[in-house]
Structures are given as structure tokens and as C-alpha cells.
Amino acid sequence: MKNLEVLNIKEYDFNIGKYLSQGTNLFKKDIGGFIVATLLLFVMSFIPFCGILGLGNFYKICKKVDEGQQVSAGDIFDFTDFVVYLKLFLLIFAVCIVVMIPIQLTLLPFLAVAGVDGENVSDTGAALFAGGMGLWLMLTIIVFMALSISMYFVQPLISLYRITSVREAYGLSWKIARKNFFKIFLFSIVVGFISQLGMIVCGVGILVTIPLGICMKYAAYKDVLESLNQKMV
């Protein structure tokens, strides 16, 4: 990123309602194009390591539509950022492994106290084991929630701001996201629900709700990053 000065990020407004509205308006600009891009994104996801690359390219498509530029179906298959996203994928995989080890170790005391021996488990042991599983689940949710929010701006920083260093993108993302951690978390839940609503109502509806959700996220990325950098690169 060339101009974004975020070493000392100050407070910024994160308007959930605004992003939902702007994302909907963006989606309406090219509904057919976004649906086709979603189908191609599904195809891209079957290529090893390319699912997150395809999503990053989708944000580039959102930017083109937003700026009134011509969009082609092949834009989703842009491999310009492949190496960066491969590094990001490997980083996420490594972090998940490292984080899960200590979380799983929290189960050991409960297993030991529960005295699990084949099929002979006392009521007290079963209760302790269930409590351990509950603690494990809670820790897992908290850790991965924190990780997902800390990485919230990584993809737009890579795809829209052309950052080629995963470490730099993550550092900037965390500095930005922590200022509105809970609002971003709430926004993620709302957008996630909207994206999956098509599956609940009608399976093929996800071809509409998934790109709609992505457009809403793009609107949030654009507003926040532009407010910090004045204009997109």
C-alpha cells in the first residue's frame, strides 16, 4: 500500500446500516454479472489454494462495477496475486494448527479426572468430560473469532491496495480492525446470515445472497480504507 498512513490509526466510524445499503445498491448495478462471478468463484474454489484468491478477485470486480468499469467473466481467474494468497493460505493453516494444540491440551485434565476407561464412565466423569468439551468449544470460538476479525481487512489490502507482504497486510488489518472490533464482529454475523439466507429459503438463492453479502463487505472495506487513505489506490 502506497499512501495509507495507519501507524497511528485514530477512531473511525463503522456504520453497519450504511454498508448494508451501499452493498445492496452496488449489487443492483450488475446483478447478472455478480451471479456469473459467483458461479465462477465456486469453480475457482475447486482449484487448490485458490478459493481465497477467487474471493480477492471478486472484490476487484466489485471495485470495477462500483467505478463503472467494464467487467469480464475471466476477471475471477486473475492469478496475479496467487503467490501472496498462497502465503496467506499457508499462514492461516499454520496458525490454526498452532492455536489448536494448546486449546486441545485443555481437555487433558478433564479426561484424566473423568477416568474414561473404555465404555465405563461414571456420571461424575461424564459431567467433567462434558464440561471440558464445553470449555474447549468456548475457547475455540473465542480464539477463531479474534483471528477472523484481526484478518478482516487482509484481503482488500492485498487485492485492492496491492500489498504483496502478508505480514504487512495482517499488521495493518489488525491495527484497523481492533478500533471497531465488536462492530465488525456484529457486521460479520449479519452479512454471514444474509449470505446463507438463500440456502435456507431456496438452495439456488445463494447465487443471489452470497454476492450480495460480498458487495456489502466491499462497501465496508471501501468506506473504512478510503476514510484512512482518502482515496483508493
Handedness of CA 96, 155, 168, 151 (dihedral sign): negative
Select from 152, 162, 147, 150 the least CA-distant residue to 4. 162
How far is 43 from 55, CA to CA, in rounded Å? 12
pLDDT at 232: 40
Instruction: For 61-73, give one letter per residue: b (16+ CB within 10 A) or e.
Output: bbbbbbeeeebee
| For residue 201, pLDDT beyond 60 | yes
- Fill in the amino acid letter for 185: F
Q: What is the pLDDT, as a whole number, of residue 135?
A: 66
| Mean of all residue pLDDT scores within the chain | 83
Per-residue pLDDT tens digits for 25-39 = 999 999 999 999 999
Contact 224/153 with Cβ under 8 angstroms?
Answer: yes
Q: What is the mean pLDDT of residues 87-114?
A: 72
The model's confidence at residue 83, banded by pLDDT at 50, 70 and 90, is very high
Q: What is the arithmetic mean of pLDDT over 12-31? A: 94
What pLDDT score was predicted for residue 169? 92
Query: Residue 122: left (phi > 0), alpha (psi -120 to 50), or beta?
Result: beta
Confidence class for position 209, pLDDT limits 50, 70, 90:
very high
Give per-residue pLDDT as tens, 96-108: 787 777 666 666 6
**Cα 149 to Cα 30, 88, 167, 185, 191, distances in angstroms:** 29, 15, 16, 7, 14
| Over residues 29-55, mean pLDDT | 91
Q: Is the pLDDT of residue 124 over 50?
A: yes
**Most confident by average pLDDT, 13-27, 42-56, 115-129, 139-153:** 13-27
Q: Is the pLDDT of residue 173 over 50?
A: yes
> pLDDT value at position 231?
40
In the predicted structure, residue 148 carries a pLDDT above the cut 80: yes
H-assigned helices in 151-205: 154-159, 166-177, 181-201
Check whether 230 has a pLDDT greater than 90.
no
For residues 51 and 101, the model is more confident at 51
- Percent above pLDDT 70 for the chain: 77
